[in-house]
Structure 1
């Protein structure tokens, strides 16, 4: 159901503190996180190996965590190191741990084979903590399958209709066809809307643009498992933005990560860094508030969509040209799932034993 050998965003850095326990479910697995006394991140299954009680409702004991059902204590490697009235601890008394990396304020977790966890595969989001950019942290919980959210983000033609007072801009935006390119692990989408109305969230911070036209761009990579990294912005119409001359432009670097919680629930992490008016926190706040409002609008329509689809599981969606990016991304997901299934099956097949015979 879910890709395992990949990096998922599990939290913002501020969510995992130095003295507490933090729990969040990722691809159906409850995960406990905390920081050791020297600040190192720990991620382990939030399930005591004894009777399955959540460790997250236990207690910290130095760099260890104690299950408050029967008192078992586990160290940062997941090994049980203490059990009341039992001096010998079974070596198999261990909780699974996961590779975890904090990078540019997002905490990433690898849910698959630890031997394949290459931190170099983590998408780069330097704008989240770069001094020349500003943003606020965003998180929304969805009670929908994560692929429906991916579909929404891969087809921006919905902007004028779902977000008329936030991200939408002119209704003509939907008529500008995007360029879709296939990547090894996803798609790249490029959409230019020339001589169009700026969206409301931009007019809120550039009031002098009210009644004027802009050239607008949204250029983003959407890669497995479900991460959007976007270069977007607006510049006064006809000043050369399509040719690379971003004169008096407002620029953003959208960072969005969609992490499945279960088959029908999803974590959505986002930020909209901007590189203008960075010394004015009210600008950052205005942008963030509009983004949050827009994403709540998305959640409303996608939740309604999922409820409708659940009524008739046999319903077949009719594809349109606007679905090119989402169709290609779903193909990439299916291909990766098939690859992982084939690798798992191969690992289960007994290998033939070759007997060595000494020469007579």
Structure 2
């Protein structure tokens, strides 16, 4: 089951060309994304109403899509506007369309009640466009249920082991108990690692100072759109970073990660890792994207292997450890959202 009344990241804007079409499955439904001539993004069910042929095997004709099985033509709102060999069209030939908004370089789609699709509910990812931040849009795909991916993000103790030689580099991470808070959108976790002997391995070669480091990860998960927003950084130790005093050489990062279910067994992962210093250093921006991507590959290897074991474990229950406080709260909030939607729809 998925929360449907939410905005889900579904594509980067650059994936949609002026005359092309992008098929992508979201929440178990095959969709077709395309741009009209004015740049507006439209989203249709990727299924012709007639014989259920994929519209993604069709062709663009202006602002419409023609099914290349029997030739029906659909506009951007899913209305059938042409049926070959007939004046007008047969009844019940329209296809479903879905609200879509392009914002912060991402295309967001609403899979639930269209009347509730308020654009003000789209997660804040302004760092993607702000001149004060530099980042590179990236996408990954996990052969695993989205809840396992969210579990991973809500338990950074794994950085000490999964990412020992990349994003982590310190056993202190696993030994530090985070502050876990429930917010009006989901879960917030705060971790500080004070007086670390050095930087995390992924920053090797780009250090801005020497000596001990005060590191932090402060991250919020919105359980409605699965938006993971993280502030992280490395400051010279004992210069006041925990109190909000950032020395000039402090390295500050912001990561937006959007976890969108493809179906029950697969997950789309849209992300950036932005920095607000050395903005002119494109080499740094590229290196961060590559190194974080390598770290996420480590996550993917572990989570996909985990999913295979989960699949064969039946109703066996996982053990609970102290590090699970954040992910347990996240799962509880998601379950509450799902129950509320089901009750509203009388399921």
With structure 2 as the length reference, what TM-score do the two structures score? 0.97
How far 1:207 moved relative to its partner? 6.7
Q: Distance in 1 between matches of 2:118 and 2:312?
A: 41
1:65 equivalent to 2:65? Answer yes
C-alpha contact 1:205 1:286 (8 A) present in aligned 2: no
C-alpha contact 2:167 2:202 (8 A) present in aligned 1: yes
Q: Distance in 2 between matches of 1:111 and 1:35?
A: 19
* Aligned Cα root-mean-square deviation (Å): 1.1
Q: Distance in 1 between matches of 2:288 and 2:212?
A: 20
Aligned to 1:240: 240
Larger Rg: 1
Q: Distance in 2 between matches of 1:336 and 1:34?
A: 31
Q: Distance in 2 between matches of 1:344 and 1:284?
A: 46
Aligned to 1:218: 217
Q: Distance in 2 between matches of 1:226 and 1:208?
A: 35
How far 1:282 moved relative to its partner? 0.7
4+ long deviations beyond 4 Å? none
Secondary structure at the residue paired with 1:256? Answer: strand
Q: Distance in 2 between matches of 1:123 and 1:279?
A: 27
How far 1:169 moved relative to its partner? 2.4
Secondary structure at the residue paired with 1:323? Answer: helix
C-alpha contact 1:170 1:198 (8 A) present in aligned 2: no
Aligned to 1:50: 50
1:260 equivalent to 2:234? Answer no
Aligned to 1:147: 147
With structure 1 as the length reference, what TM-score do the two structures score? 0.93
Q: Distance in 1 between matches of 2:209 and 2:221?
A: 33
Aligned to 2:313: 312
C-alpha contact 2:208 2:251 (8 A) present in aligned 1: no
How far 1:202 moved relative to its partner? 2.0
Q: Distance in 2 between matches of 1:170 and 1:341?
A: 43
More displaced stretch, 319-328 vs 87-96: 87-96
Show the 5 A alignment for 1:1-360: 1-196=1-196, 197-206=198-207, 208-209=209-210, 212-224=211-223, 225-247=225-247, 248-345=249-346
Q: Distance in 2 between matches of 1:110 and 1:205?
A: 40
Secondary structure at the residue paired with 1:162? Answer: coil
Q: Distance in 2 between matches of 1:217 and 1:143?
A: 30
- Structure 1 residue ranges without an equivalent (≥5): 347-360
Q: Distance in 1 between matches of 2:315 and 2:340?
A: 27
Q: Distance in 2 between matches of 1:301 and 1:327?
A: 19
Q: Distance in 1 between matches of 2:42 and 2:202?
A: 39
- Structure 2 residue ranges without an equivalent (≥5): none
Question: How big is each residue's C-alpha offset from its partner over 1:31-81, in whole Å with a ceiling of 9 and x where there is no partner?
Answer: 101111111110111111111111111100000000001100001110001
